[in-house]
Amino acid sequence: MNAPAAPLSPYSSALGKSNIEVHTLSVLVDNEPGVLARVVGLFSGRGYNIESLTVAEVAHAEHLSRITIVTAGPPQAIEQIGHQLERLVPIHKVTDLTLRGNAVERELAMIKVAGKGTDRDEALRLAEAFRARVIDASIESFVFELTGAVGKIDQFIDLMRPIGLVEVSRTGVAAMSRGPNPM
Amino acid sequence: MTNLMTGAEMVIRALRDQGVETIFGYPGGAVLPIYDALFHQDFIKHVLVRHEQGAAHAAEGFARSSGKAGVLLVTSGPGATNAVTGLTDALMDSIPLVCITGQVPTHLIGSDAFQECDTVGITRHCTKHNYLVRQIEDLPRVLHEAFYVAQNGRPGPVVVDIPKDVQFAIGAYIGPRNIEHKTYRPKLDGDPGRVARAVALMAAARRPVFYTGGGVINSGPEASRLLRELVSITRFPLTSTLMGLGAYPASGKSWLGMLGMHGTYEANNAMHDCDLMIAVGARFDDRITGRLDAFSPGSKKIHIDIDPSSINKNVKIDLGIVGDCTHVLRQLIEVFRAKGVLINADALTKWWAQIGKWRARKSLSFKNAKDVIKPQYAVQRLYELTKARDTYITTEVGQHQMWAAQHYHFEAPNRWLTSGGLGTMGYGLPAAIGAQMAHPGALVIDIAGEASILMNMQELSTAAQYRLPVKIFILNNEYMGMVRQWQELLHEGRYSQSYTAALPDFVKLAEAFGAHGIRCSDPALLDDAIMEMIETPKTVIFDCVVDKTENCLPMIPSGKAHNEMLLPGDDEAIEAAIDAAGKMLV
């Protein structure tokens, strides 16, 4: 009795299927209680991904905070995330830095490595190659501070693993568009 | 003139300055100062409900029927949590509400104090915005901002949580004129380039259809007027969502009836086969689209909406126009008028001929009976006997709601109040109370089911207290009818927990609340009984005993497309309607 299957519409939603993209969003918000909960709650409530999130006040007098969110999803979902964020009342501005193209993205990590003898030499040599700084040292450990793109930090951590990686603390990505204009 | 006053007095003053004359609420420890301030004035009328959910739905009914913001005042803890369903309902249906909640004093916040709950945390997801006011200096600004946010852009509920010490604190009041929101400034006018492209698409369309929603009603009566004008210019067919009924008159030439899961055959087929869809203030809800990958496969889609996140959310749009319906409809008409843009009349004539064939299927027909009242017949008679009056219809949720939407016909906006998005059983009676407060002389009827009405029937006491002559018209089939229907379709007729074995005697129930009770089970006596209900100048419960097993048709089974509808009389198809994949859906 059922009608033959209709041809697939080109308008169907591609949510959750293929072509996953990673985008970095900059969000300027009023620095008021609960604003971060609103942003995070939006992502969890609507089933969006958060790969990384950083937040700090950037203009004290104006009570403005800047949130940088790295998210992954199909383009339609990314567009929807932007609009959903814009809908939140204390949000001033949302910019998709990935869409705008060629933004600078940096992350800071602290990496604790423990070991003795040649392992220490190797750790220091690699740290120098990566331009990581030693911010704490003891007879059997270092804490390195490394700033860079996400991939660079991932790579450094991988190299430290066999040497004696103890723990890692990362800030998540901060990002900004290139050129003279603001977000 | 002094502007110094307590926080509680500021609340009352701000309500007054916002033009609020009626609020719905329930007192409790954490709002006593505000109730005291209320006691000292007689400008604002407070309606004492019997449960905070009732306050929220009553405020929704007030808002939806009057176009103004609805206001409720509840206490901390359970007062706030009881209001959550109503707030969520208002968020889903874009109803402007301002909900003032009391909170424990600031020094007790976080201590698990008596009747403390994290109101802003709990309501963050079910409000458009919310505030916890920690100091008196912020209170006047926040109160006025709350009204601004609730009513501008896509409307919605706003909570203002006020700790008791802030209600007692003294500060300087600021009037609404000095308040301007920093960031929230919705875009009202559509982009002129996009409006021009929309007109070009409309002029070229061969099989166009307007698909309009609650946004047209939220935009105000002018939007409905403009919609009618645009439809009369173009002669395009028009269908509406549940929330949009009344924006275009049901007697209008272009009216196809409601679309969606229980929409008409002609409306859904027009949506499926159209080559241009013009969505106005509608949001492509799953009850509208049916199976997404088979939704109107051959059409270009224009979407006009004030909320940019509605565009491309569920369905890919070819031309999105962000703006207020009133503004964008006016812009469209201006372009049509200025350029004298012609529509494709020949193609349109053929399109209407095709629609005529679909109409001939009479998808809303049903087999009437002499020995039992068919629910559709009851709604038809109710419509015929009340249409000439100043009538507002509310509903609960379920089969009766769909039958009301199908068989009661609306000529004007703001006359139809129903819980569309959230589907809240128990909405109709408090909403009717709200509508009656806004329109004291009108005939307000809650078309109800016997299961739904039990969810908020305590509000009968409210109706009695304020002598509100609301009419509760119960289509009583002893089942949660829509649940029963789905169990028949999906679960081989295993009617698990959908039969109510111990219903009250609704006539006696009416008497207990000081209302008038009527029972009717004979189709021949129905008209007289309805007239008795209409002419009784007090609250009436009408127990309309209807056919217990009637199904609500037509229906797009879950997981199916618009052109795969079940029609009345299609019994075999109904048996085999829903496959395993569809069963997973709601």
Domain assignment present for B390: yes
| pLDDT tens track, chain A, 183 positions | 344 444 344 344 444 456 899 999 999 999 999 999 999 999 999 999 999 999 999 999 999 999 999 999 999 999 999 999 999 999 999 999 999 988 999 999 999 999 999 999 999 999 999 999 999 999 999 999 999 999 999 999 999 999 999 999 999 999 999 999 998
CA distance B469 to B454: 19
Rounded to whole angstroms, how far apart are CA atoms B96 and B156? 4
Please report whether residue A2 resides in a domain. no
The Cα B376–Cα B365 span in angstroms is 9
Do B395 and B323 reside in the same domain of the chain?
Answer: no
Distance (Å, whole) CA A68 – CA A77 = 17
pLDDT-derived band at B178 (thresholds 50, 70, 90) equals low
Contact A91, A24 (CB under 8 A): no
The alpha-carbon gap from B91 to the nearest alpha carbon of chain A, in Å, equals 13
C-beta separation of B96 from B156 below 8 A: yes
Q: Which of B26, B18, B12 is nearest to B80 (CA)?
A: B26
Chain A residues 42-81 within an 8 A CB cutoff of chain B: 45, 76, 79-80
Q: Which chain A residue has the Cα nearest residue B125? A: A41
Identify the burial level of A180 via C-beta atoms within 10 angstroms of its C-beta, where 0-12 means exposed, 13-18 middle and 19 or more buried: exposed
Q: Answer whether residue A139 is part of any domain.
A: yes
- What proportions of chain B, in percent to the nearest 5, are helix, strand and coil? 45, 15, 40
Q: Which residue has the higher pLDDT, B114 or B559?
A: B114
A96 and A125 assigned to the same domain: no
Same domain, B110 and B82: yes
Q: Which residues of B touch A40 (CB under 8 A)?
A: none
Residue of B nearest to A9 (CA): B297
Domain count, chain A: 2
Tell whether B168 is covered by a domain. yes
pLDDT band at B558 (very low <50, low <70, confident <90, very high): confident
B174 shares its domain with B197? no
Q: Are residues B166 and B144 in the same domain?
A: yes
pLDDT tens digit string along B137-154?
999 999 999 999 999 999
Query: According to the model, what pLDDT value does residue B574 have?
Result: 66
In terms of domains, do B335 and B436 share one?
no
Is B535 catalytic? The answer is: no
Contact A11 B120 (CB under 8 A): no
Contact (Cβ atoms closer than 8 angstroms) between residue B470 and residue B460: no
Residues A29 and A96 in one domain: yes
Q: Does A86 touch chain B (CB under 8 A)?
A: yes
Which of the four pLDDT bands, split at 50, 70 and 90, describes residue B117?
A: very high
Q: Are B331 and B453 contained in the same domain?
A: no
Residue in the block written with tokens 């469209």: B332
Q: Among all residues of chain A, which has the CA nearest to that of B293?
A: A12
Active site residue B164: yes
Q: Which of B68, B128, B164, B471 is catalytic?
A: B164
Handedness of CA B266, B268, B270, B272 (dihedral sign): negative
Once rounded to an integer, what is the mean pLDDT over residues B482-499? 94
CA B304 – CA B284 distance, rounded (Å):
12
Q: Which of A1, A2, A11 to substitute to test the interface with B, most B CBs within 10 Å?
A: A11
Which of B204, B566, B209, B199 has the alpha carbon at shortest distance from B355? B209
Catalytic residue flag (residue B5): no
* pLDDT value for B179: 66
Confidence of residue B342 (pLDDT cuts 50, 70, 90): confident
Residue A6: its chain B contacts at CB < 8 A?
Answer: 294, 297, 561, 563
CB contact under 8 A, B563 and A41: no
Q: Tokens 């709604």, residue?
A: B379
Among A100, A135, A156, the domain boundary falls at A100
B343 and B421: one domain? Answer: no
Question: Could you say which of A2, A37, A83 has the minimum Cβ distance to residue B309?
Answer: A83
Nearest-Cα distance to chain A for B308, in Å, is: 6
B574 to chain A: closest CA residue: A1
Domain co-membership, B379 together with B479: yes
Q: Does A179 touch chain B (CB under 8 A)?
A: no
Domain residue limits at A54: 21-100
The last residue of a domain, from among A82, A100, A118: A100
- Is position B568 within any domain? no
Q: How far is A9 from chain B (nearest CA, A)?
A: 5
CB < 8 Å to A91, chain B: 183
Q: Give the Å distances, CA to CA, from B139 to B93, B163, B187, B424.
A: 28, 11, 27, 32
* Domain co-membership, A115 together with A94: no
Asked if residues B379 and B408 have their Cβ atoms less than 8 Å apart, the reply is: yes
Do the Cβ atoms of B293 and A12 come within 8 Å? yes
Residue B154 CB neighbours (<10 A): 21
Residues spanned by the domain of B120? 4-178
At A123, which amino acid appears? A
The DSSP element (H or E) to which B100 belongs, if any, is strand B97-103
Q: What is the dihedral of CA B441, B445, B451, B456, to 10 degrees?
A: -20
**Do the chains contact at A89 and B183, CB–CB below 8 Å?**
yes
pLDDT of residue B464: 97
Q: Quick one: pLDDT at residue B570?
A: 74
Would you say B437 and B417 are in contact if contact means Cβ atoms under 8 Å apart? Answer: no
Same domain? A113 vs A88 = no
Q: Which of A115-129, B15-29, B76-90, B559-573 has the lowest mean pLDDT?
A: B559-573
Element (H, E) at B210: strand B208-212
Residue of B313, B566, B570 for testing the chain A interface, max A β-carbons within 10 Å: B313
| The pLDDT of residue A18 | 67
Cβ-based contacts of B564 with chain A (< 8 Å):
2-3
B555 lies in a domain? no
The two beta strands, A165-176 and B170-172, are unpaired
Compute the mean pLDDT over every residue in chain B, rounded to the nearest whole number.
96
Helix (H) or strand (E) holding B528: helix B526-535
- Contact yes or no for B295 and A80 at CB 8 A: no
Torsion of CA B328, B329, B332, B336, to 10 degrees: -160
- Residue that terminates a domain, selected from B304, B324, B359: B359
- Shared domain for A136 and A75, answered yes or no, is no
CB contact under 8 A, A86 and B308: yes
Cβ contact, residue pair A9, B296, below 8 Å: yes
CA angle B131, B88, B76 (to 5 degrees): 50
Segment B186-209 shows an average pLDDT of: 97
For B442-476, how does the pLDDT look when each residue is reduced to its tens digit (9 = 90+)? 999 999 999 999 999 999 999 999 999 999 999 99
**What's the DSSP call for residue A3?**
P
Q: What's the number of CA atoms in the CB half-sphere (13 Å) around residue B451?
A: 21
* B350 and B399 part of one domain: no
Chain B residues within 8 A of A30 when measuring between CB atoms: 182-183
In B, minimum Cα distance to A81 occurs at B309
Determine contact, residues B434/B58, Cβ cutoff 8 Å.
Answer: yes
Within 8 A by CB and 6+ apart from A155, the residues are: A130
A vs B, Cβ pairs < 8 A, gives 86
Within an 8 Å CB–CB cutoff, is residue A10 touching chain B? Answer: yes
Tell me, yes or no, whether A127 and A145 share the same domain.
yes
Is B114 assigned a catalytic role? yes
**Phi first, then psi: what are they for A29, rounded to 5°?**
-130, 160
pLDDT for position A9? 40
Task: Report helix, strand or coil for B424.
Answer: coil
Question: DSSP letters along B276-322, please?
Answer: EEEEES----HHHHSSGGGSSTT-EEEEEES-GGGTTSSS--SEEEE
Q: Tell me the C-alpha distance between B50 and B164, whole Å.
A: 23
Distance CA B250, CA B411 (A): 6
Q: Does A36 touch chain B (CB under 8 A)?
A: no
Q: How many Cα atoms within 13 Å fall on the side-chain side of residue B541?
A: 27
Tokens 């913001």: give the residue: B69
Sign of CA dihedral B332, B333, B338, B341: positive
The pLDDT tens digits of the residues spanning B34-48 come to 999 999 999 999 999
pLDDT, greater one: B26 or B574 = B26
| ipTM for this model | 0.89
Chain B residue with CA closest to A38: the answer is B124
pLDDT on residue B174: 94
Both A89 and A110 in one domain: the answer is no
> Regarding beta strands B170-172 and B157-163, do their DSSP bridges make them parallel or antiparallel, or are they unpaired?
unpaired
Tell which of A100, A119, A150 closes a domain.
A100
Query: Between B125, B183, B309, which is nearest A45 by CB?
Result: B125
Angle at B229 between CA B225 and CA B231, to 5 degrees: 115
Instruction: Quote the pLDDT of residue A2.
Output: 42
Residues of A with CB below 8 A from B292's CB?
9, 12-13
Cβ–Cβ < 8 Å for B47, B22? yes
Same domain, A118 and A66: no
* CATH number where A108 lies: 3.30.70.1150
Looking at the fold, whether B19 and B162 belong to one and the same domain comes out as yes
> Are both B392 and B538 inside the same structural domain?
yes
By the 8 A CB rule, do B46 and B462 touch?
no
Give A143's strand partners.
A112, A136
User: Does residue B18 form part of some domain?
Assistant: yes
Q: How far is CA A24 from CA A35, A176, B219, B298, in A?
A: 19, 10, 35, 35
Assess whether A28 and A94 both reside in one domain: yes
**Active-site residue B261, yes or no?**
no
pLDDT given for residue A17 in this prediction: 53
B578: in domain: no
pLDDT band at B102 (very low <50, low <70, confident <90, very high): very high
Cα dihedral A94, A96, A100, A106 in deg (nearest 10)? 110
Whether A150 maps to a domain, the answer reads: yes
Q: By the 8 A CB rule, do B533 and B540 touch?
A: yes
Same-domain pairing of A85 and A48: yes
Q: How far is B503 from chain A (nearest CA, A)?
A: 38
Q: Which residues of B touch A (CB under 8 A)?
A: 120-121, 124-125, 128-129, 132, 149, 154, 181-184, 292-297, 301, 307-309, 311-316, 560-561, 563-564, 570, 572-573, 576
What's the average model confidence in pLDDT over B47-56?
A: 98
Q: Which residues of A touch B311 (CB under 8 A)?
A: 83
Q: Is residue B234 part of a domain?
A: yes
A76 shares a domain with A96 = yes
Cβ contact A87–B309 (<8 Å): yes
Same domain, A111 and A90: no
Nearest to B572 among A1, A6, A38 (CB): A1
* B409 and B483 housed in the same domain: yes
Asked whether residue A128 is domain-assigned, the answer is yes
CB contact under 8 A, B311 and A83: yes
CATH of residue B147's domain is: 3.40.50.970
Contact B308 A6 (CB under 8 A): no
| Contact residues on chain B for A65, CB-CB shorter than 8 A | none
Tell me the Cα Rg of chain A: 21
Dist CA B394 CA B439 (whole Å): 13
Determine which one of B10, B457, B480, B482 is catalytic: B482
B281 touches B222 (CB < 8 A): no
Average pLDDT over residues B337-356: 94
The answer to whether A41 contacts chain B (CB < 8 Å) is yes
Q: How many domains does chain B have?
A: 3
In whole angstroms, give the CA distance from residue B101 to residue B115. 12
Of the candidates B5, B10, B52, B147, the residue annotated as catalytic is B52
Identify the three-state secondary structure at position A53.
strand
Query: Could you tell me the CATH number of the domain that includes residue A84?
Result: 3.30.70.260
3-class secondary structure, B519:
strand
